[in-house]
Amino acid sequence: MSTPIDSALGEPINLSRRRFLVASAGTAVGALVLGFGVPLGSARMQAIAAERQAAGTQVSAFLEIRPDNTIRLLCPFIEGGQGTYTAMAQIVGEELDADPSTFVVDSAPPGEAYVVMENGLRITGGSMSVRMSYPTMRRLGALARAMLLQAASARLNVPVSELTTEPSHVLHVASGRSLSYGELAGLALDLAVPAIDSITLRDPSQFRWIGKPVRRLDSYDKSTGKALYTIDLQVDGMLHAAVQHAPRLGMTVGELRNEAQVKAMKGVHSVHRLPGAVAVVAERWWHAKRAVEAIQVQWQEPSSDSPLRIMPADFSSVAFRERLANEPGPGRDAEVEGDFAGTLAKAKTPVEATYHNQYVNHAQLEPPSALARFNPDGGLEIWLPNQAQDFFLADIAKRTGLDPSRITLHTPLLGGFFGRHFLYDTANPYPQAIELAKAVGRPIKLIWSREEEFLRDPLRPMAVVKFRAALDANGLPVAIEAVSATEGPTEGLAGKQGEKLDPSALEGLTDKAYAIAHRRIAQIYVKGPVMLGYWRSVGNSLNDFFYEAFLDELADKGGHDPYELRLHLLQGNARLTHLLQSVAELSGGWKRGPFTAEDGSRRARGVAMASPFGTETAVVAEVSIENGQVKVHDIWQAIDPGSIVNPAIVEAQVNGAVALGLSQALVEEAVYVDGKPRARNYDLYPILPPARMARVHVKVIESGAKMGGIGEPPLPAVAPAVANAVSRLTGQRIRSMPFSSYTFSQPT
Amino acid sequence: MELRINQKTYQVDAEADTPLLWVIRDDLGLTGTKYGCGLAQCGACSVLVDGNVVRSCVTPVAGVVGREVTTIEAIEVDEVGKRVVAAWVEYQVAQCGYCQSGQVMAATALLKRTPKPNDAQIAAAMVNLCRCGTYNAINAAVHELATDVATLAAPAGEIV
Domains along chain A with CATH numbers = 4-223 (3.30.365.10), 231-304+368-447 (3.30.365.10), 318-359+460-741 (3.30.365.10)
Chain B residue closest in CA terms to A283: B26
**Chain A positions in Cβ-Cβ contact with residue B30 (cut-off 8 Å):** 225
Q: Are B2-73 and B75-152 in the same CATH fold? A: no
Average pLDDT, integer, range B78-83: 97
Helix boundaries (H) for A619-717: 647-666
What's the confidence (pLDDT) of residue A376? 94
Does residue A739 belong to the interface with chain B, where contact is any CB pair within 8 Å?
no
In Å, the largest CA–CA distance within chain B is 44
C-alpha–C-alpha distance, residues A216 and A300, integer Å: 50
Of the two residues A165 and A306, the one the predictor is more confident about is A165
B97:A227 CB<8 A: yes
Q: Predicted ipTM?
A: 0.94
**Chain A positions in Cβ-Cβ contact with residue B139 (cut-off 8 Å):** 690, 693
User: In this complex, which of B26, B73, B129 lies closest to A687 when CB atoms are compared?
Assistant: B129
**Chain A positions in Cβ-Cβ contact with residue B76 (cut-off 8 Å):** 224
- Cβ-Cβ pairs closer than 8 A, A with B, add up to 170
> What confidence category does residue B36 fall into, taking pLDDT thresholds of 50, 70 and 90?
very high
C-alpha–C-alpha distance, residues A397 and A405, integer Å: 9
C-alpha–C-alpha distance, residues A325 and A323, integer Å: 5
**Mean pLDDT of all residues in chain B?**
93
* Residue ranges of B 50-69 with Cβ closer than 8 A to chain A: none
Does residue A415 belong to the interface with chain B, where contact is any CB pair within 8 Å?
yes
Cβ atoms of A188 and A74 closer than 8 Å: no
Does residue B75 belong to the interface with chain A, where contact is any CB pair within 8 Å?
yes
The topology (CATH level 3) of B2-73 is: Ubiquitin-like (UB roll) (3.10.20)
Alpha-carbon gap: B129 to the closest alpha carbon of chain A (Å): 6
CB atoms under 10 Å from CB of A174, counted, come to 9
Return the half-sphere exposure (C-beta side, CA atoms, 13 A cut-off) of residue A321: 21
Chain A residue closest in CA terms to B89: A219
Give A156: exposed, middle or buried? Use CB within 10 Å, 0-12, 13-18, 19+.
Answer: middle
Res A9 pLDDT > 70 = no
> What confidence category does residue B149 fall into, taking pLDDT thresholds of 50, 70 and 90?
low
Residues A250-265 have pLDDT tens digits of: 999 999 999 999 999 9
Residues A447-466 have pLDDT tens digits of: 999 999 999 999 999 999 99
What's the confidence (pLDDT) of residue A22? 27
> Which residue type occupies A562?
P
SS3 label, residue A164: strand
B75:A652 CB<8 A: no
Q: Is A80 left (phi over 0), alpha (psi -120 to 50) or beta?
A: alpha
Residues A604-641 have pLDDT tens digits of: 999 999 999 999 999 999 999 999 999 999 999 999 99
Residue A270 bridge partners (DSSP): A281
- CA-closest candidate to residue A233, choices B121, B81, B31: B31
- CA-closest candidate to residue A691, choices B127, B44, B88, B55: B127
Cβ atoms of A525 and A588 closer than 8 Å: no
Sign (positive/negative) of CA torsion A172, A175, A180, A184? negative
What's the confidence (pLDDT) of residue A285? 98
Alpha-carbon gap: B36 to the closest alpha carbon of chain A (Å): 6
Residues A353-412 have pLDDT tens digits of: 999 999 999 999 999 999 999 999 999 999 999 999 999 999 999 999 999 999 999 999
Domain boundaries, chain B: 2-73, 75-152
Does residue B12 belong to the interface with chain A, where contact is any CB pair within 8 Å?
no
Does residue B119 belong to the interface with chain A, where contact is any CB pair within 8 Å?
no
Superfamily designation of domain B75-152: [2Fe-2S]-binding domain (1.10.150.120)
Buried b / exposed e along A472-504 (16+ C-beta atoms within 10 A) = eeebbbbbbbbbbbbbbbbbbbeeebeeebbeb
Res A19 pLDDT > 60 = no
Average pLDDT, integer, range A574-586: 98
Cβ atoms of A467 and A355 closer than 8 Å: yes
Does residue B138 belong to the interface with chain A, where contact is any CB pair within 8 Å?
yes
Query: What residues have CB less than 8 Å from A44, skipping those under 6 apart?
Result: none
Average pLDDT, integer, range A563-568: 98
* Residue ranges of A 351-370 with Cβ closer than 8 A to chain B: 363-367
B97:A218 CB<8 A: yes
**Chain A positions in Cβ-Cβ contact with residue B85 (cut-off 8 Å):** 220, 223-224
What's the confidence (pLDDT) of residue B160? 33
C-alpha–C-alpha distance, residues A410 and A389, integer Å: 8
pLDDT > 90 in chain A, percent: 91
Alpha-carbon gap: A711 to the closest alpha carbon of chain B (Å): 11
Res A35 pLDDT > 80 = no
> What confidence category does residue A179 fall into, taking pLDDT thresholds of 50, 70 and 90?
very high
C-alpha–C-alpha distance, residues A158 and A509, integer Å: 61
**Mean pLDDT of all residues in chain A?**
93
Average pLDDT, integer, range A416-428: 96
What's the confidence (pLDDT) of residue A43? 52
**Chain A positions in Cβ-Cβ contact with residue B26 (cut-off 8 Å):** 240, 284-286
Mutation for B interface: A13, A19, A105, A222, most B CBs within 10 A: A222
Cis peptide before A594 (omega within 30 of 0): yes
B92:A215 CB<8 A: yes
Res B84 pLDDT > 60 = yes
Q: How far is CA A500 from the centre of its chain?
A: 24
Strands A518-525 and A595-596, by their bridges, are unpaired
C-alpha–C-alpha distance, residues A25 and A408, integer Å: 18
DSSP string, A399-463: HH---GGGEEEE--B-S--TTTTS--TTS-SHHHHHHHHHHHTS-EEEE--HHHHHHHPPBBP-E
Cis peptide before A489 (omega within 30 of 0): no
pLDDT > 70 in chain B, percent: 92
Residues A287-328 have pLDDT tens digits of: 999 999 999 999 999 998 999 999 999 999 999 999 999 999
User: In this complex, which of B22, B72, B96 lies closest to A286 when CB atoms are compared?
Assistant: B22
A683:B41 CB<8 A: yes
> What confidence category does residue A17 fall into, taking pLDDT thresholds of 50, 70 and 90?
very low
C-alpha–C-alpha distance, residues B156 and A716, integer Å: 44
Residues A190-226 have pLDDT tens digits of: 899 999 999 999 999 999 999 999 999 999 999 999 9
What's the confidence (pLDDT) of residue A53? 53
User: In this complex, which of B39, B89, B134 lies closest to A656 when CB atoms are compared?
Assistant: B134
> Which residue type occupies A597?
A
Cβ atoms of A432 and A277 closer than 8 Å: yes
Res A117 pLDDT > 80 = yes
C-alpha–C-alpha distance, residues A318 and A327, integer Å: 14
Chain B residue closest in CA terms to A369: B35
Does residue A599 belong to the interface with chain B, where contact is any CB pair within 8 Å?
no
Average pLDDT, integer, range A23-29: 28
A659:B36 CB<8 A: no
Residues A129-145 have pLDDT tens digits of: 999 999 999 999 999 99
Mutation for B interface: A17, A223, A417, most B CBs within 10 A: A223
Average pLDDT, integer, range B19-36: 98
Residues A687-746 have pLDDT tens digits of: 999 999 999 999 999 999 999 999 999 999 999 999 999 999 999 999 999 999 999 998
Chain A residue closest in CA terms to B35: A366
Does residue A216 belong to the interface with chain B, where contact is any CB pair within 8 Å?
yes
User: In this complex, which of A225, A266, A284 lies closest to B73 when CB atoms are compared?
Assistant: A225
* Residue ranges of B 78-107 with Cβ closer than 8 A to chain A: 85, 88-89, 92-101, 104
Res B90 pLDDT > 50 = yes
Q: How far is CA B25 from the centre of its chain?
A: 15
Does residue B129 belong to the interface with chain A, where contact is any CB pair within 8 Å?
yes
C-alpha–C-alpha distance, residues B20 and B59, integer Å: 6
**Chain B positions in Cβ-Cβ contact with residue A229 (cut-off 8 Å):** 98
User: In this complex, which of A80, A227, A231 lies closest to B35 when CB atoms are compared?
Assistant: A231
Cβ atoms of A338 and A478 closer than 8 Å: no
Looking at chain A, how many residues does it have? 748
Does residue A448 belong to the interface with chain B, where contact is any CB pair within 8 Å?
no
> What confidence category does residue A23 fall into, taking pLDDT thresholds of 50, 70 and 90?
very low
Does residue A667 belong to the interface with chain B, where contact is any CB pair within 8 Å?
no
- CA-closest candidate to residue A624, choices A728, A550, A741, A738: A728
